[in-house]
Structure 1
Amino acid sequence: MTKPDTLAPAAQAVGPLSAALPPLPQRAIGIDVGGTGIKGGIVNLRKGKLTGERFRIPTPQPATPEAVAGVIAEVLDELLSRDKAPSAEELSVGVTLPGIVIDNVVLSAANIDESWLECDTTELLKDFPGRISTLNDADAAGLAEARYGAGANRPGTIMTVTLGTGVGTALVHDGVLVPNSELGHLEFEGAKPAEAKVSASARERLNMPWPEYGETLRRFLVHVERIQPVSQFIIGGGISKRSEDFLPFVTGLRAEVVPAQLTNNAGIVGAALYAAERARLAAANALGSAE
């Protein structure tokens, strides 16, 4: 698997889908919807980096679909006003949401307003410019890390574990995302779900010292590894900035355990990449049907 760079389009990292995809555009837009902020950026798909600064607006409260859509529109308008914004003809926009997303429909609301349940985001965002794709927030971060970050150039199965208010997981095999793994909702040592004991917010709530938190995370990853063996765990979320405080205590696993590299921009980068590839795949399928 070739790591995308200035000469190799990101489509070459898709693995089995490569033959179906024309080269991706140089840029796409990613928007990451979080509990406290909605942030977006223009992403260089050849480098997996933001072009210019990201733009952030606080998440409205309550964070209903209509209210969030209004803020997404503001973020998108600001990004499209920039000189290096993608052209209208090639505009793909990826939007992350903290829930299960299948065919652009939100099917869970553990860490999002309950009014999102069964929300069809295609309908919600139908008046937005470009081709819009929505996906789980951890999936976006994991896809970015697997292509451009800590998992780049690594074949096999990789799992990114995002530690924040909850625990998100993203499974990528040979560069291809297997969406909505949601293993942070497993039962773990009596905790239902596991994120009640393993998340970064749980560490703060329980006032866990770093060594104790590292040991708790180690046991959780051992539990996950029994269910879904992987070759690498990538530890993401804001807490990954403090990885030197707890990862030394995460030992004894078969899989390699490493900190994420893209940190706060992973969701934006992964969303943009996902949207661009979905747009190219749809175009390729349409061309095949026409022939």
Structure 2
Amino acid sequence: MASNASKAVGVDIGGTGIKAGIVDLEKGELLSDRIKVPTPAGAEPKDVLDAVTQVLDKLGVADDTDIALGVAFPAIVKSGRTLSAANVSKSWIGFEAEKFFEDGLGRGIHFANDADVAGIAEVRYGAAKGVEGLVILTTLGTGIGSAMIYDGVLIPNSELGHLQRAEHKRDAEGYAAYSAMEREELSWEKWAKRLQWYYDYVEFLFSPDLFVVGGGVSKHSDEFLGLLKLNTPIVPAVHRNNAGIIGAAALAVPVVEALPAVK
């Protein structure tokens, strides 16, 4: 795949759904329909691979190795290995995930944490574009994902959804993720009180310059963001629940940077 190609495929693997699409890398927009299938029960590696193959088939790119492919996954990712498994099978812990997908799909891929790629989508094409200082993107869904971006540079694997609550059994995402709101049938107001605790905590620890809120619930941002009282500006992600697809695709293609002149 040539650098600076005009399009790529992004696959976003989540705790409840696997989404994919073909992305225009200049505009940061989907060129195709968004394809979605449920994440298989138990989310074991082979079953997830089969589901990813299914979405690529539906997109018509399963055999097209000329188009770059990026895959986002809900885990700490280092050197292609998944080191955690918050909302998928424990089989992924310490698993050579990138090689597993490459072997199974018969092609090279770019493999990264799902919230990190969503952060890349927003810094290249969305709410964090051109923002100086520290931007913290959080995805509110099955869990709480996070991406930390300083002056446009990603600091990977921040995992701020797993901040611990003193003297409580549940971590931040167990208490304040969108899934907690659904599970406990909370009103927007009651859920916003939990989010207030969470963003107050993150704000105190990191003093960010901007919060960006992504995930599926970001389409309802007018229901809860206005209820939060923070010193840091907080805005919805421009690409909402497509940010993972767009960011995964964007990272699949190397960007040719200007090289310094050689004297």
Q: Give the TM-score normalised by structure 1.
A: 0.80
Is the CA contact 1:210–1:245 (under 8 Å) kept in the aligned structure 2? yes
Task: Give the counterpart letter for 1:93 in structure 2.
Answer: L
Distance 2:96 2:151 in 1: 30
SS in 1 for 2:70: strand
* Structure-2 residue corresponding to 1:161: 138
Unaligned runs of 5+ in 1: 1-21, 285-291
SS in 1 for 2:218: helix
Is the CA contact 1:184–1:194 (under 8 Å) kept in the aligned structure 2? yes
SS in 2 for 1:245: helix
Unaligned runs of 5+ in 2: 258-263
Distance 1:33 1:130 in 2: 18
Deviation sequence 1:80-131 (CA, Å, 0-9, x none)? 449xx9x744x32111111111111000011111111111123212333543
Percent identity reads: 41
Matches within 5 A, 1:1-291: 24-81=4-61, 88-89=65-66, 91-127=67-103, 128-188=105-165, 190-191=167-168, 192-253=170-231, 255-277=232-254
Is the CA contact 1:142–1:172 (under 8 Å) kept in the aligned structure 2? yes
Greater shift, 99-108 or 31-40, is seen at: 31-40
SS in 2 for 1:180: coil
Deviation sequence 1:195-254 (CA, Å, 0-9, x none)? 12111111233333222322321221111122222110011111112211111121132x
Distance 2:101 2:183 in 1: 36
SS in 1 for 2:102: coil
Distance 2:145 2:53 in 1: 26
Is the CA contact 1:166–1:201 (under 8 Å) kept in the aligned structure 2? yes
Q: Give the TM-score normalised by structure 2.
A: 0.88
Distance 1:24 1:102 in 2: 24
Task: Give the counterpart letter for 2:248 in structure 1.
Answer: A
* Structure-1 residue corresponding to 2:260: none
* Structure-1 residue corresponding to 2:261: none
Deviation at 1:186, TM superposition (A): 0.6
Distance 1:162 1:182 in 2: 11
Is the CA contact 2:80–2:99 (under 8 Å) kept in the aligned structure 1? no
* Structure-2 residue corresponding to 1:288: none
Is the CA contact 1:99–1:108 (under 8 Å) kept in the aligned structure 2? yes
Runs of 4+ displaced beyond 4 Å: none
Summarize the Cα distance change of 1:189–1:214 in structure 2 as closer, same or farther, 3 Å threshold. farther
SS in 2 for 1:177: strand
